[in-house]
Each structure stands twice: as structure tokens, then as C-alpha cells.
Amino acid sequence: MEPSDVLTHKNGRQRKLAGATLPNDNMRDMDRGERSASEPDIEDEAEGLIGGSDSEDRRHRVRPGIRGELGNVLLLLFLYVLQGIPLGLAGSIPLILQSKSVSYKDQAFFSLVFWPFSLKLLWAPLVDALYFSRFGRRKSWLVPTQYLLGLFMLYLSITVNSLLQSEGGPNVVILTAVFFMLAFLAATQDIAVDGWALTMLSRENVGYASTCNSVGQTAGYFLGNVLFLALESADFCNKYLRIEPKDTGIVTLSDFLFFWGVVFLVSTTLVAVFKRENEHSKGKRRVQEETQGVMETYRLLLSIIKMPTVFTFCILLLTAKMGFSAADAVTGLKLVEAGVPKEQLALLAVPMVPLQILLPVVISKYTAGPRPLDIFYKAFPFRLLIGLEYALLVWWTSSVKQEGGFPVYYYAVVLLSYAVHQVALYSMYVACMAFHAKVSDPLIGGTYMTLLNTVTNLGGNWPSTVALWMVDPLTSKECQGAVGQSCGSPEEAGLCVKEGGVCVTTLDGYYVESVVCVVIGLAWWIWLGKKMRRLQEQSPAAWKCRIN
């Protein structure tokens, strides 16, 4: 048995579009591209072992073609769209919280919501190995997780307004708990759908699974984030969609959650009742999936991590993005704090889509050689400099704000800044993925690749959480208008206001972080970046896992 059968999930992309928390690309880096090319080859090898009489029959077999499996392709596409909805909603909540002036420590706490997709390797073996055979290996997990997603959305549709508008401010703890569960369930659904895709489609059409993944998650995230933020904004709706202005948008968060909660429940019921997991069309050989024991899978992962080259590479991946954390995690929230409408930031996703499609294609031409990490190394300092440019952009924002909003040239500068950021980000991302594919042991390609990509994603999440957490402690404020008062804590700030004063920021922690992160990033690039490049000089044997 090929160990790559153990983890059939491709770990989706959870593709975060260019709006939302504008440069917050930890979600973008979180999960894209974790797919193993080895699974379809397993069927090739299995068919190669079949006797000559069967091979004679296969010569006359009619290839199914995409038309014969269009229904399966559309189902996969729809399931991935559903997966993107809660992720898009989770991405919109920080902007809503920022408009309600929550602390950056609260934002840091809520950022834990984005961790499940980076940690799902921890429970993926369980999803792969435990199931009810009569109901279906993938449906055993897909159906209950999607029902729970629908129920959580219905629960949120009733309670979200009270959670966002409680007396002491938004109830960040409960919001984080509920959206964490949504992300956890979406990640589990992703494992099940990715595995099902490999058997739902024939060998000839299994390549469409990654297309469904990419398009579906992108569309779902767009619906749950960009479209929602636009339709929820009274200003946007009054300006572009209404004749008579109103105080609210066309939809509310509660309405949006209720609608998609019902969609989840209805669609899951239809899939459970009408879609048989083990059916296969005429002329299509049923793929026999083998399962390695759960403990064997975890032992395999541990044996990979213990390899000296892999362990070193993982440490480098976990620390490489520290220099980008302030720019990626905080900049978008600072722009909202400075008065930039969150729906306008979200709409920057639209012109970014063509760039996001073309960049991997162009960059892959330069990472296809034996030294893909050279591109990673060269793009690193440019991305650091873009972080400083983001800080300048935030500082400039307050000076260009006008009574009616921001001028068109301001949004042009923001869009250009983000486009340049994308070039550096994709250069590093594609180079890293190319190196993962180059060094992964083909005997355990699925598990090996997913492990490396999971570590990469986690290396983007933890620095972002720390960066959000440190903004407030690094910020200095003083109380003006009230003698003897200070603004060192929320309680002291409240006393300052009560005494007739006002808290004024004398040093914004974001700017401190931006400089510190660039210094840390440069130090990493000078000392550890060269060490990462030297890993390319290791022999292929240094990356092969010796399984006992």
C-alpha cells in the first residue's frame, strides 16, 4: 500500500482574496496547494497488475469523458463553494470588530479562528480511517460536519447581533469559539471532500478535482466575504444599488447566516439521500482505497519529522514569516481604523483575481529548476520592504481623508501596493511549493507534502497572532485635558474620559512592530536564509524516509 493513500486530503487552498483584511495573507498562505499528485498514479499501478485478458478489455473500454461525469464535477464544485462560505465569513468578522473599536488583543484572540486549516493534519488520519462502510467512507464525515455547520450558522443568525452589540462591547470569546468550530468543521469537510474527489471521478477526470477545489473555495470565500461586506454596507448599497437611501444594507449578518445555514441543511440532506458514494459508471473501474492504521500514520509523520534535513527545514519554515507579520496581520485593520470603508477594501479582490491566476503560472517557469528556493531568497527582502511601504501607507491615509471619503487616487495607490505585495508573496509561495514537491519522498508523497505544507501554513499563523497581540502593549497614549490621568489601560482611559479628557496616541505600536519585524526579517534573511538555500545542495537520499 502506498502511504499517500493514508491522507487523501489535498488541504484545499482556503484562498483569501485581496480585500477583507487587505494584506492579511496568513490565510492565503495558510493552505493553498497542498495536493498530492501521487494518488492518481496509484490506480495506474493497480491497473498495471491486472492480467492480460483484462487489459484487452480495457482497450475497448469507452473513456468516460467530462460529460459523463459532469454531475460529479458540479457536486464537487458545490461542496467546495459551501466550504468557502464559513471561511469568508470568518475573514469578514475582524473588519466588523475593528469598526467597533475592539482591542488588538481581542483581534489576536479571534485570529485563532484561522488555525484549524493549518493543523488539520493532526486529525486527518482519523477522518481517513474511521467510518461506517455501509453509509460511505467520506459521507460518514461529510454529512455530520455539514449538518453541524448549518446548525452553527442558524445558531449564530439568532445570537450574532447580541454578541456583536453587548454592553461591554463585542463578546469576542464566544464569537471566537463559534467561528473556531465553523473553521474546524470546514477543515474536516475539506479532508472528506478531497478524499471523495479521488474516487468520485474517474482516473481520466480526477485532475478536475483540483480545479473544483480552487474555483469552489475562491467562489465561496468571495460570497462569504467580499459580497457579504458589500451588501451589508449601507453606504455601498445606497451609492450603487438603491434609488432611495436607507440606514442599513440590503442584507444583515444575521440574514446571511440564516440563509446559508438553511442551504447547508437542505443540500446535505439531498446528498445524504440521493448520492451514493460507491457508485461507479459503466466502463469506470472502482478505485479500491486502502487505509493504514491511525497509529501507523502518526508514526510515519514522526519518522519524517525526525529526519535531520526535514527537521531543519521545518524550523526554518516556522520562523521565515516573522518579518512579515505586522504587514500581513495588522495593516488592513489599521486602514479600517483610519476610516477606510471595509467594503471598499473587500472590493479590491475583484481586480486582483486575474493577477492571482497569472502569477503562479509565470513564476513557476523560474522555480521549475533544481534550485527553486533561490527565488524564495531573492523575493524575501522585497517583501520586507513592502512591509515598510504599508506602514507609510497607513501613516499617509489620515492626511488624504476627505469629507466624502477618500479620493480615487488613494485607492489606486492601495491597489498598486497590494499588487506589488502579491508578486513578492507568490514568488515565495510558488518557490516553496516547488521545493516541497522536489524533496518529498515519492513513496509517501501525500503524507510528506501535507506535513511540509502544514508546517509552512503554521509558520504564517503564529507570527500573525503574536503581531496582533503586541500592538496594544507597544502603543503609547497620554490623557489630554484631564490633569493627573493616564491612558495606560482601558480602565485608566475610561477615567480620563470621565474627567473630561481624551486619550491621544503618541506612539502607535503598529509602526514599532513594522520596524522591528523588518529588522527581524533581515536578520533571518542574512543568517538563516542562506542556510535554507544550502538545503537545496543536500542529496536526494537526505530527504528519503527510512520506514522500518
Amino acid identity, residue 459?
Answer: G
- CA dist 88 and 249 (Å) reads 18
Q: Is the pLDDT at 412 greater than 90, yes or no?
A: yes
Q: Is the pLDDT at 374 greater than 60, yes or no?
A: yes
pLDDT tens for residues 342-352? 989 988 888 88
Count of C-beta atoms within a 10 Å radius of residue 361: 9
pLDDT band at 58 (very low <50, low <70, confident <90, very high): very low
Given a contact cutoff of 8 angstroms between Cβ atoms, the answer to whether 36 and 139 are in contact is no
Q: Is the pLDDT at 382 greater than 60, yes or no?
A: yes
**Which pTM was predicted?**
0.83
pLDDT tens for residues 443-480? 765 678 888 989 999 999 999 999 999 999 999 988 88
User: Strands (DSSP E) along 219-299, which ranges?
Assistant: none
Amino acid identity, residue 376?
Answer: F
pLDDT of residue 62: 42
Q: Is the pLDDT at 15 greater than 80, yes or no?
A: no
Residue 504 parent element (H or E): strand 502-507
pLDDT of residue 259: 97
Supply the mean pLDDT for the chain: 83
Residues forming beta bridges with residue 480, ordered by sequence position: 502
Cell digits of residue 9: 486530503
pLDDT tens for residues 299-324? 888 888 999 999 999 999 999 999 99
**Higher pLDDT, residue 330 or 52:** 330
Given a contact cutoff of 8 angstroms between Cβ atoms, the answer to whether 356 and 214 are in contact is no
Structural domains in the chain? 67-275 (1.20.1250.20), 292-472+509-547 (1.20.1250)
pLDDT of residue 21: 45
3-state secondary structure of 479: strand
Cell digits of residue 45: 499501478
- CA dist 94 and 20 (Å) reads 9
Given a contact cutoff of 8 angstroms between Cβ atoms, the answer to whether 212 and 75 are in contact is no
Rounded percentage of the chain residues whose pLDDT exceeds 90: 51
Residue range 397-414: mean pLDDT, rounded = 91
pLDDT band at 101 (very low <50, low <70, confident <90, very high): confident
